[in-house]
Structures are given as C-alpha cells and as structure tokens.
Amino acid sequence: MTMAKRDTYTPDSLLAVAVAVFNERGYDGTSMEHLSKAAGISKSSIYHHVRSKEELLRRAISRALDGLFDVLEEPGAVTGRAIDRLEYVTRREAEVLMDELPYVTLLLRVRGNTDTERWAMERRREFDQKVADLLERAGADGDLRADVDIRLATRLLFGMINSIVEWYRPGRGGAASRDEVAEAVVRTAFAGLRKP
C-alpha cells in the first residue's frame, strides 16, 4: 500500500490501483481512504476521475465480463463438434481469466448487495448458461462419458477454472505459466468428461 504512482491519473490507471485494493481487502472492506492512500492522492481527488466508489466496481466488472463473453464469439467457439468447442472455450476462458486476472477476480467475488453487483451476477448466469448449453450438446452428440451429470459437470468445470484466481500470480518464477495452467485445466477436466 501507499505506493506513489505519480503522473496524473487517467480513469483507467486509477481503476487498476482501485481493483488491486478491492481484491486485497474486499470491495466492502475498502474505504475511499484506503484507495486514496494506495493511489497517493487525496480522497476528493479520486472524485475528479470517477463519480463514486461503485463506478469503479462497475467499470472493473464490465471489463471482466467483456473479456469472458468475447471468447464465445471466437471462431473456435462457434464451429465444430460441441465437445471440441467446449474444450476451446474452456482453455480460452482460463486464459482470459489469467490475462485479466484482477478484473475477473473482482467479478467472481461479487455478492449482490447493490444494483451493480446484481447486474454482474445476472450476466454471469447468462454466461454460465451458454457454456452449459455446449456441454448439453456434447452429451447429445454422445461425446461425454456415460456417468457424467451435465449440470454437475458444468459446475465442477467452472469451479476448477474460477479457482485459478485464488492462486495464479503472473510471472512468478518457478510456478506454472499461463499456458501450462490452461493446459492442465483442460487436461484434468476433460479426462473426467470426454468419452475415452
């Protein structure tokens, strides 16, 4: 904390600082005073860049959601067998999560106390449903193991992907790289899903 990030702030560079603090202390556990200390400017100066604390949350969450939804439009996600599209989406979602780590982390921790948070949860549900549909089709194609429960499998798959935010830290020497993590997720998940 109390890092001097000199030069004047843009809304985006201030957002980056804010999101880091939100993730460390939790959104509700972060006061404007905390943000002011971390950004190296006064509380009231923050209000020159954003209208409210909640606006910071909204901007961060939007960025995360955009990244996740964009994957569903990529060629690998819209053509081919459902099971292959599912594997593509799984890998890409893991990658986006790591590329936009702080923003997605914040999104995943939202609880629903404000309108912004409820909107975020609603969009997340939409997203999850689209992936669940893919899994459903893979099942209809006969490409899933017989003993797989679709709803349960969807949840465990997301559980594995989303848990990455709890421990992945970019560029940490000795630990797994972005691509290794994505590969491990895909391999582990599809060992339990794909018909041998």
Partner DNA sequence: GTCTATACCGTGATAGAC
Partner DNA sequence: GTCTATCACGGTATAGAC
Tell whether residue 124 is a contact of DNA (CB under 7 A). Answer: no
Three-state secondary structure call for residue 144: strand
Residue 45: name its binding partner from its own copies, DNA, none (Cβ under 5 to 8 Å by kind).
DNA
Tokens of 107: 């999104």
Least separation in angstroms between residue 107's CB and DNA is 19
Write down the H helix ranges in the chain: 11-25, 32-39, 43-49, 53-71, 75-78, 82-99, 101-109, 115-140, 150-162, 178-193
Mask 23-42, x = binds DNA (CB under 7 A)?
Answer: -------xxxxx------xx
Tell whether residue 113 is a contact of its own copies (CB under 8 A). Answer: yes
Mask 40-79, x = binds DNA (CB under 7 A)?
Answer: -xxxxx-xxx-xxxx-------------------------
The residue (of 10 and 52) whose beta carbon lies closer to its own copies is 52
Query: Virtual CA dihedral for 177, 180, 181, 186, nearest 10 degrees?
Result: 160
Least separation in angstroms between residue 23's CB and its own copies is 9
Closest Cα partner for 119 from 64, 165, 160, 70?
Answer: 64
